A and B are shown apart, each in its own frame.
Chain A
Amino acid sequence: MTEKKIRVLVAKPGLDGHDRGAKVVARALRDAGMEVIYTGLRQTPEMIAEAALQEDVDVVGLSILSGAHMALAPRILELLKSNGQTHVKIFMGGIIPDEDMPRLKDMGITGIYGPGASTDEIIKDVREAVK
């Protein structure tokens, strides 16, 4: 019997092309023993929700540096919900202004990380969230 693995979708919605952060996080989660499905740049909310469904992930990690987080996050949450994936936890990283954070958390985003966040902290929070 294989033990249950934590499966994480790492996706970059929106139009900016900076995927270094997403790749750093993907590697860190891999090194923590998780299975990371990496989907690449410029994903629409529909593509992200579809991939999250097909891959039956526990966690979706979004990297957004374009400033469009207040439009993209609710849309992705809504699609996951309508697909029946209410148990999936969403984490966000990128450039998120402080004043947006409480609103995103209220919407149902589990964790938000800015530049300089430690990968150890992200790994700990992901493990905690899927317990």
Chain B
Amino acid sequence: MMTLTNSVLEGNRLALARLLTQVENDSSEGRAALAELFPHTGKAQLIGVTGASGTGKSSLVNQLALHYRKTDGSRKRVAIVAVDPSSPFTGGAVLGDRVRMRDLSGDSGVFIRSMATRGSLGGIAQTTAALTQVFDAAGFEIIIIETVGAGQSEVDIARLAHTTLVVEAPGLGDEIQAIKAGILEIADVLVINKADRPGVENTERALRSNLELAHPTQRVFHHHGRSISVTAPATDSKLWIPPIHKTVATEGKGIPELAESIAKHAAHLHQGGDWAARDRARLGSELEAVLGEALMTRFHETVPQEQYDEIVEKVLSRNLSPWEAVKSLLNGSSE
């Protein structure tokens, strides 16, 4: 295994591809490699891209990657993890995000990996975070994660990424969609893609009024023919207010401005100490998940299966509540 991680660190693309598979399958080799690579992680900037299907997320990711590779002169190495849903019935998946990313082929500074959710519901797969760690260790400076296009409650991506883009498009939802909790609250940057389509003003107005509710700024009221300007109470200058960008990804319009906002957000996180805080929160919850799994394994090793089954039966016959059952299981007695 040592050789595979070494090859990955040396930039071997075939080794990287194979290791990603091991990690995605959560194999013991994959876990061992992750442990070896872990000291090399923590350098990449993670950008999450989420939003309903049909808003043009893949095209936007394609353009952003092109921007980092060509336009802005930094030639940062870009990895893309594109997540699409698995069928809950067959476990199969068609992963089609690459169709919109053909501009990136032939560039050895770009690596695109498609992954299926494999039963996970939060918009990304269980092992998506682990895949980004592999890319991070392999020296990719920018990692873009594209979630499945469910459009709601993809909170997992906000936990994983440093900067989360929420992509909307004109004509897809009304104001109530935007007001729904969750999706707007995770946005660090809002994008209205397909901004050459009719209805873009309505979408922008809906988003802006929602942002206003969350972050009041100066307003002008018209009252009996007089304009009254009211300045909202001075808010914390450290507060980040999500900017709204209009883009036409198929033509590359609005991309440099979007990239600038992403850079500003990263700088904001660094200045306010939030970068480290996000890292801490992310690694903390990862640690907890691993710990939970290890504790479960240890628990099942110590409690005989018969005793466990016996207690399940008691719960089934309503002789024991689940809370009492857990108490007695943890105390090691069958009462």
Contact = CB atoms under 8 A, between A and B. Distances in A.
Interface of A: 1-5, 7, 26-27, 29-40, 43, 46-47, 50-51, 53-56, 83-85
Interface in B1-49: 13-14, 17-18, 20-21, 24-27
Given A47-B102, A51-B105, A83-B14, A32 B113 contact: no
A21 to B, nearest CB: 15
B94 interface: yes
Given A30-B94, A35-B93, A36-B93, 12 more contacts: A2-B24, A3-B25, A4-B25, A5-B25, A5-B91, A32-B92, A35-B86, A37-B98, A38-B94, A38-B99, A40-B99, A51-B112
A48 B20 CA distance: 19
Nearest to B96: A38
Interface string B76-103: 0000000000110011111110110010
Interface core residue of B13, B27, B102 (most chain A CB under 10 Å) = B102
B139 to A, nearest CB: 16
A50 B106 contact: yes
Contacts of A1: 25-27
B219 to A, nearest CB: 47
Interface in B93-144: 93-96, 98-99, 102, 105-106, 111-114, 116, 118, 126-127
A26 B94 contact: yes
A33 B90 contact: yes
Given A29-B92, A51-B98, A56 B18 contact: yes
Given A4-B25, A33-B91, A53 B99 contact: no
A127 B113 CA distance: 23
Interface core residue of B14, B26, B91, B94 (most chain A CB under 10 Å) = B94
A54 B116 CA distance: 15
Given A54-B113, A84-B14, A46 B105 contact: yes
Interface in B146-191: none
A39 B114 CA distance: 11
Given A39-B99, A47-B105, A53 B14 contact: yes
Contact of A33 (B20, B24, B92): B92
Contacts of B25: 1-5
Contacts of A36: 92-95
B13 to A, nearest CB: 6
A55 B90 CA distance: 21
Contact of A55 (B17, B27, B105, B106): B17
21 contacts: A2-B126, A2-B127, A7-B21, A29-B92, A32-B92, A33-B90, A33-B91, A36-B92, A37-B98, A40-B98, A46-B106, A47-B102, A51-B98, A51-B105, A53-B17, A54-B13, A55-B17, A55-B114, A56-B21, A84-B14, A85-B14
A70 to B, nearest CB: 24
A80 to B, nearest CB: 11
A54 B93 contact: no
A33 B86 CA distance: 9
Contacts of A29: 92
A61 to B, nearest CB: 12
User: Considering the complex of A and B, which 7 residue pairs feature the smallest CB-CB distances, nearest first?
Assistant: A30-B92, A40-B99, A56-B17, A33-B92, A47-B105, A56-B21, A38-B96
Nearest to B112: A54
